[in-house]
Structure 1
Amino acid sequence: MSTAVGGPIRPCPECGAQIPVDERFTVWCASCDWNVDPGEHQEKQEKAKEAERRGRRTRPTGPGRLEEARRALARRHGERLHAEVTRDGADLRARRDGASVLAYVIALAVHGVTAALLFGGVACLVWGWGSGLMLLGAVLLAMAVALRPRLSPPLGDGTVLRRADAPELYALVDEVAEAVGTRGVDTISVGKEINAGVMSRGLRGRRALDLGLPLWEVLTPQQRVALLGHELGHYGNGDTRHGRVVGSALRSLATWRYYFLPTARPSLVEMIVNAVYAVPLLLVQGTLTLLDHLTLRATQRAEYLADREAARTASTEAAVGLMDRMLVLDSIDVFLRRESNSAALAGTRSARGNAAGARDGDGLWTRLAAHMASVPEHEYERQRRVGARRGHSVDSTHPPTHLRRACLLAGPPAAAAVVLGEARQQRIDAELATARARVARGIVRDGVA
């Protein structure tokens, strides 16, 4: 290994080209793609070992025919969708296709089953008062309550900020929402997830924004605006999966599936119950899979539309920068887990002075920002190539990040409609100071979510 001005280098074992070496990241060759996706090779090895343990002979030809067909179908679908959103350009609008309409029909049928259980339970209690039908009515009502549609996803463990707690942050969200063409949110919560998202809760559709501080902290001010523009852009872009009707149906089916799952290591009675539940489980699983696949196209298309809103709100440059950060989210996860493990080791030492500071999360966000600033460009490029090699997944709700990035760069660059200045960013940081310290302590104490 030799050392160049930009750091150590070594020859590629495949083609001999000089490749940069950073021990924190995968060493790979940009000339011949040697070791560009080591996870793919490791996955094949694990499958081969598992097959060998089971006494099967492995085929060296890679995935089976069915899996190859699924991948080819996903790639064709993804390429058509990417060509569509790139061709339509700025005139791209949300639309409902046949799959979305069918998804609504199935979702309404799912809710109809719950309504039938409720009606049947009430009818048995009213018409069968004083008879054995009352017991059947009670069972039907209990099933209706257990299988009722959940209008809201479960709450996370983040810190909820009200408008009085963070007026400047709420004002920024409102400004971004106005630029996107929607309304703001009712609550904002910050936590330790490396993610962000919006959702509607309850019958009134109160909007909640979840901000994962590990992601928020590694973004520039304009990239933060792009993140908000993307999340708020999901409202009104045809994403049926996140709507009340289809979204709650998916959650209901997941609940049903949980109740019908067979018991592990069952007794004789439980074996009988498992046998009785087999057919309902197949029906629920089949309906859940069908509804999931029917909404995938609209969901992936909605991601492109949300990216368009992010660029229109924060600028194309900021939206592309956000995409680049999304490519290396695993690096954030690894760094935070390393910080948590280091704090745990420090806590076992007899010298408590340095350990206390580590467990309190002091300087965590500064160290995370420094780490992300040191991620080399060849790691970003490797992640783009990995995405291109793996292609579209048949069950992914998001298009590959490298295609989303390419779609943003395909059209004319957009200027920022909302600019987050330094003074305003400092005021937002001050509002988040308490939550930042609390989340940092939680990460070093318990790890990331």
Structure 2
Amino acid sequence: MTETAHAVRTARRDCPECGEHLADGGRYVTWCTACDWNVDPEVRDETPPGRIERLRRRLAERYGEQLIADLAASGDLAASDGLAASGGLSDPAGAADATPAAGAAGVADPAGGTVPGAVGGGTVRPRRGVAGGLAAALAVAVHGVTLALFSGGLWLVVAGWSTGLQPVLGALLIALAVVLRPRFSRLPKDESHRPVLRRADAPRLFALLDDVAGTVGTTGVRAVVVDADVNASVSTYGIRQHRVLRIGLGLWQVLSPQERIALLGHEFGHYAHGDTRHSLLVGSAFHSLATWRYTLAPAPAHTLMEHFVNLVTALPRLLVEGILILLEHLTLRGSQRAEYLADASAARTAGTEAAAGLMDRLLIAGDIAGELRRESVAAQTRIGGGTAARREDPAAGLWERLAAHAASVPEREYERLRRAAERRGHQVDSTHPPTHLRRRLLMRGTPGGALIVLDEARTSEVDTELAGAMQSVAREFIRR
């Protein structure tokens, strides 16, 4: 920024662009609602984009707007919103007691039995299209290379054993195939800064997760990992692709109960709608390509041999980079489409208002992360202070203070962030559509009710089960 926030607050009472009176932004940016002066000070000193970058941004904007138009015209969002009617769920007013209609096919629950309301007929199935088909074919080719290396190495070992040289080359190929093989993610270890909860540890929480997953038409999770991040996600681990939910308390604790339902509905929605990048085939291909890129990365060269190795690996390295970029672009449209469909699942599960509230909280994610860092620095200062300071527990009340900070953000700041996002436009390589567009699409038409209502009693039960993990994460975060 060329002007500090303090200077803007004290020296400029009228907008320098249009002359309108400026409301004091307090600890937030002071900006003009009439002409958007200072609405996005972070980019004020950025170098203007060149011709190619401007073209990329225009294409990204056209692409993003076309995606929204296609979704609206295709009726996919309406189909997702209408799952209650076709899936045997009761009216939203009685969603808390929703049960499947007679004969409805439930989805298997990890603990056995079925999850109510998980009916496949109403879920929007993945629409692969040409790009999705090409991405799948490219992923098969990536895995085929690894298989070919292993098979060729095995053949050299078996068929050329008498020659002496061929088995050595074959062993090298087998070793290379082992290094480049697809890898399955592992469940993180249970650590104090990242506790892992099982079904027996938090039965009320897992029952809630089963309800949300069943409502959007998919299965629940096997484990829950808790950390301090301002984020949340559902991913898979192991050969059997068990699911794990990661709850970042930096985000979870600033959400209202219904916004937490919206968050869960969104994350499970990725699996209900068949996000290409979440699939085993394409997802493991991304992991393999990342491993290839790391393996082929040039090393600091100090000898002639090191220069030779870097030269030999240059072409394969460029090939891998190109394949990775191609795979990312082939799955980009599907990933952004899946985000919109996951948002629709969030709105249907928790209600439109809660889903829109979640979008607002995502807008201030950077501010929340900054507040967490300030808490950590302040705690370290107190810990290093006198005897009285050391008697205090800086981890106590951390999440309550963070929630209070988020609740104090004025609506004017949310509006500024939305306008700033519109000015920045679409990002060419982003797997997520701009948050302000996601919110706008959610708010179209008549707001919908919630299929799951998280009442005060159930909220308290879930919070009680998470209390131990919250304290552990807070203490470890403060010690950083």
The reply to whether TM is greater than 0.5 is: yes
- Which SS does the other structure have where 1:24 is aligned? coil
Distance across 1 between alignment mates of 2:452 and 2:158: 59
Asked if the contact 1:253/1:284 (under 8 Å) is kept, the reply is: yes
Partner of 2:45: 42
The structural deviation recorded for 1:267 is 3.1
Of 34, 41, 52, the residue aligned with 1:66 is 52
- List alignment gaps of at least 5 residues for structure 1: 1-6, 45-61
2:165 partner amino acid: G
For residues 287 and 382 of structure 1, the distance between their equivalents in structure 2, rounded to whole angstroms, comes to 39
Q: Give 1:121-132 correspondences, 5 Å limit.
A: 121-130=153-162, 131-132=164-165
**Cα pair 2:296 2:313 within 8 Å, conserved:** yes
1:345-364 mapped onto 2 (5 Å cutoff): 345-349=381-385, 351-359=386-394, 361-364=395-398
Residue 115 of structure 1, aligned match among 137, 147, 157: 147
Which deviations, in whole Å up to 9, do the C-alpha atoms of 1:375-408 show, x marking residues without a partner?
0111101110111111110110100001000111
2:441 pairs, out of 401, 407, 410, with: 407
Q: Among 225, 239, 243, which residue is 2:261 paired with?
A: 225
Q: Work out whether residues 28 and 34 of structure 1, in 8 Å CA contact, stay in contact via their aligned partners in 2.
A: yes
Listed one character per residue, the Cα deviations across residues 407-440 of structure 1 (whole Å, up to 9, x for unaligned) are: 1111332211111110111111110111101111
- Conserved? CA contact 1:86–1:410, under 8 Å: no
Instruction: Provide, for residues 119-155 of structure 1, a one-character-per-residue CA deviation record: whole Å limited to 9, x for no partner.
Output: 1222222222252222112211111111111232784
Match of 1:77 in 2: 63
Q: Are 2:419 and 1:385 equivalent residues in the alignment?
A: yes
Q: Please, what is the CA RMSD of the aligned residues?
A: 1.8
Cα contact 2:186–2:238 (8 A) shared by 1: no
Structure 1 residue identity aligned to 2:436:
H
1:354 to partner: Cα distance: 2.4
Aligned length, in residue pairs: 421
Counterpart contact for 1:346–1:358, Cα < 8 Å: no
Corresponding position of 1:434? 468
Which residue of structure 2 lines up, in the alignment, with residue 55 of structure 1? none
1:99 aligns with 2:138: no
Matched residue of 1:375: which SS? coil
Matches within 5 A, 1:181-200: 181-200=217-236
User: SS state of the match for residue 19, structure 1?
Assistant: coil
Please, what TM-score do these two structures have when normalized by structure 1?
0.90
Instruction: For residue 265 of structure 1, report the CA deviation from its aligned partner.
Output: 5.1
The corresponding residue for 2:306 is 270
- What are the residue-to-residue correspondences of 1:274-353 with 2, within 5 Å? 274-349=310-385, 351-353=386-388
SS class of match (1:235): helix
TM-superposition CA deviations, 1:322-363 (whole Å, max 9, x none): 1111111011011000011111222222x133245354x111
Mapped partners of 1:420, 1:354: distance in 2: 39
Aligned partner of residue 28 in structure 1, secondary structure: coil
| Contact 2:57–2:426, Cα closer than 8 Å, also in 1 | yes
Instruction: Report how far residue 42 of structure 1 moved.
Output: 3.1
> How many Å apart are 1:314 and its aligned residue?
0.6
Please point out which of 169, 179, 183 is paired with 1:146.
Answer: 179
Q: Which deviates the most, 369-378 or 281-290?
A: 369-378
What stretches of structure 2 of length at least 5 have no aligned partner?
1-8, 81-123
- Residues 343 and 355, structure 1, Cα contact 8 Å, conserved in 2: no
Q: Please list the CA deviations of residues 266-302 of structure 1 after superposition, one character each: whole Å capped at 9, or x if unmatched.
A: 4332111111111001100000000001000000000
Describe the SS at the equivalent of 1:233. helix
C-alpha separation between the residues in 1 aligned to 2:46 and 2:391?
40
8 Å CA contact retained: 2:188, 2:196: no
Take 2:460 and 2:202, find their aligned partners in 1: how far apart are those partners? 12
- The amino acid of 2:184's aligned partner reads L
Kindly, what percent of the aligned residue pairs are identical?
A: 54
* SS of match in other structure, 1:210: strand
* 267-276 or 158-167, larger mean C-alpha shift: 267-276
C-alpha distance in 2 between matches for 1:137 and 1:352: 66
Equivalent position of 1:33 in the other structure: 36
Whether the 8 Å contact between 1:96 and 1:238 is mirrored in structure 2 is no
Alignment partners' CA distance in 2, 1:106 and 1:266: 36
CA distance in 2, matches of 1:274, 1:243: 34
* Partner amino acid, structure 1, of 2:66: R
SS at match of 1:335: helix
Normalising by the residue count of structure 2, what TM-score does the alignment of the two structures yield? 0.84
Distance (whole Å) between structure 1 residues aligned to residue 464 and residue 277 of structure 2 = 36
Alpha-carbon distance between aligned partners in 1 of 2:383 and 2:42, rounded to the nearest angstrom: 33
